[in-house]
A = this chain, B = another copy of it.
Amino acid sequence: MKLSEFEFISRVASLLSQQGVEVPIGDDAAVVRGEGELLILTTDALTQGSHYLKEWKGVVEELYYLLGKKLLNVCASDVAAMGGEPKFGLVTVSLTEESSDEDAVALFKGLGEEAERLGVKVIGGDTVKGECELFNMALIGRGEGYMVRSSARPGELVGVTGSFGDARGGLELLKEGKREPWSLVEKLLNPKARIEEGIGALRAGVECGTDVSDGLLFNLSTIAQASRVKIDVESSLIPISRELIETFGERKALEFALYGGEDYELIITFPKELKEKVEEIGFKVIGKVSEGEGVFLDGKRALIKGFEHFKEE
Protein backbone atom coordinates (compact mmCIF):
# COMPACT_ATOMS: atom_id res chain seq x y z
CA MET A 1 0.00 0.00 0.00
CA LYS A 2 1.68 3.16 -1.16
CA LEU A 3 -1.27 5.58 -1.19
CA SER A 4 -2.04 7.43 2.04
CA GLU A 5 -5.41 6.76 3.63
CA PHE A 6 -6.79 10.06 2.36
CA GLU A 7 -5.44 9.58 -1.17
CA PHE A 8 -6.92 6.10 -1.21
CA ILE A 9 -10.35 7.25 -0.01
CA SER A 10 -10.54 10.09 -2.54
CA ARG A 11 -9.55 7.67 -5.32
CA VAL A 12 -12.15 5.04 -4.45
CA ALA A 13 -14.92 7.48 -3.47
CA SER A 14 -15.30 8.42 -7.14
CA LEU A 15 -16.09 4.77 -7.88
CA LEU A 16 -19.08 4.81 -5.56
CA SER A 17 -22.20 6.66 -6.71
CA GLN A 18 -23.56 8.99 -4.01
CA GLN A 19 -26.57 10.20 -5.95
CA GLY A 20 -29.52 11.08 -3.75
CA VAL A 21 -27.55 10.62 -0.52
CA GLU A 22 -28.26 13.45 1.93
CA VAL A 23 -24.71 13.58 3.38
CA PRO A 24 -22.36 11.40 1.27
CA ILE A 25 -18.96 9.86 2.02
CA GLY A 26 -16.52 12.37 3.49
CA ASP A 27 -18.12 13.64 6.69
CA ASP A 28 -18.05 11.92 10.10
CA ALA A 29 -20.97 9.74 9.05
CA ALA A 30 -23.32 9.47 6.10
CA VAL A 31 -26.95 10.59 6.30
CA VAL A 32 -29.77 9.11 4.25
CA ARG A 33 -33.42 10.00 4.30
CA GLY A 34 -35.58 7.03 5.24
CA GLU A 35 -39.35 7.06 5.10
CA GLY A 36 -40.04 9.73 7.68
CA GLU A 37 -36.66 9.59 9.43
CA LEU A 38 -33.01 10.44 8.94
CA LEU A 39 -30.63 7.50 9.22
CA ILE A 40 -27.02 8.21 10.21
CA LEU A 41 -24.55 5.50 9.23
CA THR A 42 -20.91 4.94 10.12
CA THR A 43 -18.33 2.19 10.50
CA ASP A 44 -14.98 1.89 12.31
CA ALA A 45 -12.48 -0.84 13.02
CA LEU A 46 -9.95 -1.53 15.77
CA THR A 47 -7.00 -3.66 14.68
CA GLN A 48 -4.16 -5.22 16.56
CA GLY A 49 -0.93 -3.49 15.69
CA SER A 50 -2.59 -0.29 14.52
CA HIS A 51 -5.00 0.48 17.37
CA TYR A 52 -3.81 -1.70 20.22
CA LEU A 53 -1.08 -4.13 21.13
CA LYS A 54 -1.66 -7.50 22.73
CA GLU A 55 1.25 -6.72 25.09
CA TRP A 56 -0.86 -4.04 26.75
CA LYS A 57 -2.74 -6.87 28.47
CA GLY A 58 0.30 -7.22 30.70
CA VAL A 59 -0.34 -3.66 31.94
CA VAL A 60 -4.13 -3.49 31.64
CA GLU A 61 -5.60 -6.91 32.32
CA GLU A 62 -9.11 -5.82 31.28
CA LEU A 63 -7.81 -4.71 27.84
CA TYR A 64 -10.33 -6.58 25.66
CA TYR A 65 -13.28 -5.67 27.88
CA LEU A 66 -12.31 -2.01 27.43
CA LEU A 67 -11.73 -2.45 23.68
CA GLY A 68 -15.32 -3.71 23.41
CA LYS A 69 -16.53 -0.49 25.04
CA LYS A 70 -14.18 1.57 22.89
CA LEU A 71 -15.34 -0.04 19.64
CA LEU A 72 -18.88 1.17 20.26
CA ASN A 73 -17.84 4.63 21.46
CA VAL A 74 -15.56 5.25 18.46
CA CYS A 75 -18.54 4.70 16.14
CA ALA A 76 -20.98 6.48 18.44
CA SER A 77 -18.65 9.50 18.40
CA ASP A 78 -19.16 9.78 14.62
CA VAL A 79 -22.91 9.72 15.11
CA ALA A 80 -22.60 12.25 17.96
CA ALA A 81 -20.59 14.55 15.68
CA MET A 82 -23.63 14.63 13.35
CA GLY A 83 -25.95 15.37 16.29
CA GLY A 84 -27.55 11.95 16.06
CA GLU A 85 -28.51 9.18 18.44
CA PRO A 86 -26.94 5.73 17.90
CA LYS A 87 -29.50 2.92 17.70
CA PHE A 88 -28.32 -0.31 16.03
CA GLY A 89 -24.92 -1.95 15.70
CA LEU A 90 -23.46 -4.76 13.61
CA VAL A 91 -20.13 -6.21 14.65
CA THR A 92 -17.52 -8.22 12.73
CA VAL A 93 -14.82 -10.07 14.61
CA SER A 94 -11.74 -11.50 12.93
CA LEU A 95 -9.77 -13.81 15.23
CA THR A 96 -6.53 -15.71 14.78
CA GLU A 97 -5.28 -19.06 16.02
CA GLU A 98 -3.61 -17.13 18.85
CA SER A 99 -6.73 -15.22 19.92
CA SER A 100 -8.08 -16.41 23.25
CA ASP A 101 -11.73 -17.26 23.79
CA GLU A 102 -11.66 -15.33 27.07
CA ASP A 103 -10.46 -12.14 25.36
CA ALA A 104 -13.10 -12.38 22.64
CA VAL A 105 -15.87 -12.98 25.16
CA ALA A 106 -14.56 -10.12 27.34
CA LEU A 107 -14.75 -7.82 24.32
CA PHE A 108 -18.40 -8.71 23.81
CA LYS A 109 -19.06 -8.21 27.52
CA GLY A 110 -17.72 -4.65 27.34
CA LEU A 111 -19.55 -4.04 24.08
CA GLY A 112 -22.81 -5.37 25.49
CA GLU A 113 -22.58 -3.28 28.68
CA GLU A 114 -21.81 -0.12 26.75
CA ALA A 115 -24.62 -0.84 24.27
CA GLU A 116 -26.99 -1.13 27.23
CA ARG A 117 -25.75 2.20 28.65
CA LEU A 118 -26.17 3.99 25.32
CA GLY A 119 -29.46 2.37 24.33
CA VAL A 120 -27.88 0.68 21.31
CA LYS A 121 -28.96 -2.79 20.14
CA VAL A 122 -26.15 -4.89 18.68
CA ILE A 123 -28.25 -7.03 16.36
CA GLY A 124 -25.91 -8.82 14.04
CA GLY A 125 -22.41 -9.83 13.31
CA ASP A 126 -19.95 -11.98 11.51
CA THR A 127 -17.06 -13.94 12.98
CA VAL A 128 -14.21 -15.01 10.74
CA LYS A 129 -10.96 -16.78 11.31
CA GLY A 130 -8.34 -14.55 9.79
CA GLU A 131 -4.69 -13.79 9.87
CA CYS A 132 -5.17 -10.86 12.24
CA GLU A 133 -7.29 -9.68 15.12
CA LEU A 134 -9.74 -7.04 13.95
CA PHE A 135 -12.98 -5.77 15.43
CA ASN A 136 -15.31 -3.81 13.19
CA MET A 137 -18.56 -2.09 14.01
CA ALA A 138 -21.17 -0.56 11.77
CA LEU A 139 -23.53 1.74 13.62
CA ILE A 140 -26.91 3.04 12.52
CA GLY A 141 -28.31 6.09 14.25
CA ARG A 142 -31.23 8.44 13.93
CA GLY A 143 -31.25 12.20 13.77
CA GLU A 144 -33.72 15.06 13.98
CA GLY A 145 -31.33 16.84 11.62
CA TYR A 146 -27.57 16.85 11.31
CA MET A 147 -24.38 18.87 11.70
CA VAL A 148 -21.71 18.72 8.98
CA ARG A 149 -18.13 19.92 8.61
CA SER A 150 -18.96 22.18 5.69
CA SER A 151 -21.28 24.68 7.34
CA ALA A 152 -18.92 26.86 9.43
CA ARG A 153 -19.50 30.57 8.71
CA PRO A 154 -17.23 33.59 9.24
CA GLY A 155 -18.10 35.34 12.49
CA GLU A 156 -18.88 32.11 14.34
CA LEU A 157 -17.13 30.84 17.47
CA VAL A 158 -15.39 27.46 17.84
CA GLY A 159 -16.38 25.29 20.79
CA VAL A 160 -15.10 21.95 22.09
CA THR A 161 -16.07 19.39 24.73
CA GLY A 162 -13.78 17.85 27.33
CA SER A 163 -10.00 18.06 27.26
CA PHE A 164 -7.36 17.16 24.72
CA GLY A 165 -4.19 15.08 24.62
CA ASP A 166 -5.07 12.66 27.42
CA ALA A 167 -5.46 9.67 25.08
CA ARG A 168 -2.05 10.38 23.56
CA GLY A 169 -0.62 10.65 27.06
CA GLY A 170 -2.20 7.30 27.87
CA LEU A 171 -0.59 5.80 24.78
CA GLU A 172 2.86 7.02 25.85
CA LEU A 173 2.30 5.57 29.33
CA LEU A 174 1.31 2.16 27.93
CA LYS A 175 4.36 2.15 25.68
CA GLU A 176 6.45 2.46 28.85
CA GLY A 177 4.47 -0.29 30.57
CA LYS A 178 2.73 2.14 32.96
CA ARG A 179 -0.97 2.49 33.76
CA GLU A 180 -0.87 5.53 36.06
CA PRO A 181 -2.27 8.14 36.01
CA TRP A 182 -5.20 5.92 35.09
CA SER A 183 -7.32 8.85 33.86
CA LEU A 184 -4.96 9.19 30.86
CA VAL A 185 -4.86 5.47 30.00
CA GLU A 186 -8.60 5.28 30.52
CA LYS A 187 -9.15 8.11 28.02
CA LEU A 188 -7.32 6.00 25.42
CA LEU A 189 -8.97 2.66 26.15
CA ASN A 190 -12.39 3.74 27.39
CA PRO A 191 -13.41 7.00 25.67
CA LYS A 192 -17.01 8.14 26.00
CA ALA A 193 -18.81 9.40 22.90
CA ARG A 194 -20.30 12.87 23.45
CA ILE A 195 -23.79 11.87 22.37
CA GLU A 196 -25.77 14.19 24.66
CA GLU A 197 -23.57 17.15 23.79
CA GLY A 198 -24.00 16.47 20.05
CA ILE A 199 -27.77 16.19 20.27
CA GLY A 200 -27.85 19.25 22.54
CA ALA A 201 -25.83 21.32 20.09
CA LEU A 202 -28.04 20.30 17.16
CA ARG A 203 -31.19 21.16 19.10
CA ALA A 204 -29.68 24.53 20.09
CA GLY A 205 -29.34 25.31 16.40
CA VAL A 206 -25.68 24.43 15.75
CA GLU A 207 -25.09 23.39 12.13
CA CYS A 208 -21.37 22.56 12.04
CA GLY A 209 -19.66 19.78 13.97
CA THR A 210 -17.05 17.05 13.85
CA ASP A 211 -15.28 14.79 16.32
CA VAL A 212 -11.60 14.70 17.17
CA SER A 213 -10.19 11.33 16.17
CA ASP A 214 -7.03 12.43 14.32
CA GLY A 215 -5.89 15.34 16.52
CA LEU A 216 -7.44 18.72 17.39
CA LEU A 217 -5.61 20.81 14.77
CA PHE A 218 -6.11 18.19 12.07
CA ASN A 219 -9.84 17.92 12.71
CA LEU A 220 -10.17 21.72 12.89
CA SER A 221 -8.55 21.77 9.45
CA THR A 222 -11.20 19.40 8.08
CA ILE A 223 -13.81 22.01 9.05
CA ALA A 224 -11.72 24.88 7.62
CA GLN A 225 -11.27 23.01 4.35
CA ALA A 226 -14.84 21.75 3.96
CA SER A 227 -16.31 25.17 4.88
CA ARG A 228 -13.63 27.23 3.05
CA VAL A 229 -13.00 29.39 6.11
CA LYS A 230 -10.13 30.36 8.39
CA ILE A 231 -10.11 29.12 11.97
CA ASP A 232 -8.18 30.93 14.73
CA VAL A 233 -7.48 29.08 17.96
CA GLU A 234 -5.84 30.36 21.14
CA SER A 235 -3.63 27.76 22.79
CA SER A 236 -4.35 29.17 26.26
CA LEU A 237 -8.05 28.35 25.77
CA ILE A 238 -7.56 24.69 24.80
CA PRO A 239 -8.71 22.50 27.70
CA ILE A 240 -5.83 20.34 28.98
CA SER A 241 -6.13 18.14 32.06
CA ARG A 242 -4.00 18.71 35.14
CA GLU A 243 -2.95 15.03 35.06
CA LEU A 244 -1.52 15.44 31.55
CA ILE A 245 0.48 18.54 32.51
CA GLU A 246 1.72 17.01 35.77
CA THR A 247 2.82 13.81 34.02
CA PHE A 248 4.38 15.19 30.85
CA GLY A 249 5.05 18.89 31.53
CA GLU A 250 3.32 21.89 29.94
CA ARG A 251 5.08 21.84 26.60
CA LYS A 252 4.56 18.13 25.87
CA ALA A 253 0.98 18.32 27.14
CA LEU A 254 0.18 21.08 24.64
CA GLU A 255 1.79 19.10 21.83
CA PHE A 256 -0.33 16.06 22.72
CA ALA A 257 -3.45 18.26 22.88
CA LEU A 258 -2.79 19.74 19.44
CA TYR A 259 -1.62 16.64 17.56
CA GLY A 260 -2.48 13.54 19.60
CA GLY A 261 -5.44 11.66 18.17
CA GLU A 262 -8.26 9.57 19.63
CA ASP A 263 -9.67 12.25 21.94
CA TYR A 264 -13.22 11.59 20.68
CA GLU A 265 -14.29 15.04 21.81
CA LEU A 266 -16.56 17.24 19.69
CA ILE A 267 -15.74 20.45 17.84
CA ILE A 268 -18.59 22.74 16.80
CA THR A 269 -18.80 26.21 15.29
CA PHE A 270 -21.78 28.40 16.13
CA PRO A 271 -23.11 31.99 15.90
CA LYS A 272 -22.21 34.22 18.89
CA GLU A 273 -25.87 34.40 19.96
CA LEU A 274 -25.73 30.70 20.88
CA LYS A 275 -22.67 31.07 23.17
CA GLU A 276 -24.52 30.85 26.48
CA LYS A 277 -26.64 27.92 25.30
CA VAL A 278 -23.74 25.80 24.07
CA GLU A 279 -21.64 26.62 27.15
CA GLU A 280 -24.50 25.29 29.26
CA ILE A 281 -24.36 22.04 27.26
CA GLY A 282 -20.66 21.75 28.13
CA PHE A 283 -18.75 23.33 25.23
CA LYS A 284 -15.84 25.71 25.82
CA VAL A 285 -14.90 28.41 23.33
CA ILE A 286 -11.34 28.05 21.98
CA GLY A 287 -11.39 30.27 18.90
CA LYS A 288 -13.29 31.84 16.05
CA VAL A 289 -14.13 31.47 12.38
CA SER A 290 -13.35 34.16 9.82
CA GLU A 291 -12.98 34.59 6.07
CA GLY A 292 -9.87 33.02 4.59
CA GLU A 293 -8.38 29.55 4.83
CA GLY A 294 -6.27 27.41 7.14
CA VAL A 295 -5.98 26.92 10.88
CA PHE A 296 -4.06 29.49 12.94
CA LEU A 297 -2.71 28.96 16.45
CA ASP A 298 -2.02 32.13 18.47
CA GLY A 299 -2.00 34.09 15.22
CA LYS A 300 0.44 31.81 13.36
CA ARG A 301 -0.47 29.33 10.63
CA ALA A 302 -0.54 25.91 12.26
CA LEU A 303 1.29 22.92 10.91
CA ILE A 304 -1.34 20.29 10.18
CA LYS A 305 -0.46 16.68 10.73
CA GLY A 306 -2.84 13.97 11.67
CA PHE A 307 -2.56 10.36 12.54
CA GLU A 308 -2.59 8.40 9.28
CA HIS A 309 -2.80 4.65 9.35
CA PHE A 310 -1.14 4.17 5.98
CA LYS A 311 1.63 6.69 6.20
CA GLU A 312 5.12 5.71 7.21
CA GLU A 313 6.36 7.64 10.24
Chain A residues with a Cβ under 8 A of chain B: 1-3, 5, 8-9, 11-12, 15-21, 24-25, 29-30, 32, 34-37, 39, 41-45, 47-51, 87-88, 90-92, 94-97, 99-101, 104-105, 108-109, 111-112, 115-116, 121-134, 136, 138, 140, 309-310
- Are B1 and A41 within 8 A (Cβ)? no
- Asked whether A42 lies within 8 Å of B124 as measured between CB atoms, the reply is yes
- Cα A124 to Cα B3 in complex, Å, equals 19
B residues near A36, Cβ cutoff 8 Å: 34-37
Chain B residues lying within 8 Å of A309, measured Cβ to Cβ, are: 127-129
The answer to whether residues A48 and B130 also contact, given A88-B41, A121-B32 and a CB cut-off of 8 A, is yes
Question: Judging by beta carbons under 8 Å apart, are A1 and B32 in contact?
Answer: no
B29 touches A121 (CB 8 A): no
Q: How many Å lie between the Cα of A112 and that of B88 in the bound state? A: 25
Whether A132 contacts B130 by the Cβ 8 Å rule is: yes
* Cross-interface CB contact of A30 among B12, B115, B124, cutoff 8 Å: B124
* CB-based contact A94/B16 at 8 Å: no
Decide: A132 and B129 in contact? CB cutoff 8 A. Answer: no
> Considering only CB atoms, which chain B residue lies closest to A100 in the complex?
B1
Counted per complex, copies of this chain come to 2
Contact (Cβ within 8 A) A101 B1: yes
Min C-beta distance of A138 to chain B, whole Å: 3
User: Which of B3, B124, B132 is in CB contact (< 8 Å) with A41?
Assistant: B124
How far apart are A90's CB and chain B's nearest CB, in angstroms? 4
Residues from chain B with Cβ under 8 Å of A122 in the complex? 16, 25
Identify the interface centre among A29, A116, A125: most chain B CB within 10 Å of its CB.
Answer: A125
Question: Are B47 and A128 closer than 8 Å at their CB atoms?
Answer: yes
Q: What is the CA–CA distance of A297 and B125 in the complex, to the nearest angstrom?
A: 31
- CA–CA, A108 and B17, complex, Å: 11
Residue of B nearest to A5 (CB): B127
Given contacts A34-B37, A101-B2, contact A47 B121 (CB under 8 A): no
Q: Is the beta-carbon distance between A8 and B127 smaller than 8 angstroms? A: yes
B contact residues around A134 at 8 Å (CB): 94, 128, 130, 132, 134
How distant is A114 from chain B, measured CB to nearest CB, in Å?
11
CB distance from A204 to the nearest CB of B (A): 23
**Could you list 8 A-B pairs, sorted by A, with CB under 8 Å?**
A19-B121, A25-B123, A29-B124, A34-B35, A42-B90, A43-B92, A47-B128, A94-B134
Among residues of B, the one whose C-beta sits closest to the C-beta of A22 is B123
Please give the distance in Å from A205's CB to the nearest CB on chain B.
23
Chain B contacts for A12, CB-based, 8 A: 104-105, 108, 112
The listed residue with most B CB atoms (<10 A of its CB), out of A88, A123, A134, is A123
Q: Are A90 and B18 in contact (CB under 8 A)?
A: no
Complex interface: chain B residues within 8 A of A310 (CB):
95, 127, 129
In the complex, the answer to whether A131 meets B48 with C-beta atoms within 8 Å is: yes
Beyond A36-B36, A50-B128, A121-B21, is A41–B90 a contact (Cβ under 8 Å)? yes
Complex CA distance for A48 and B130, rounded to whole angstroms: 7
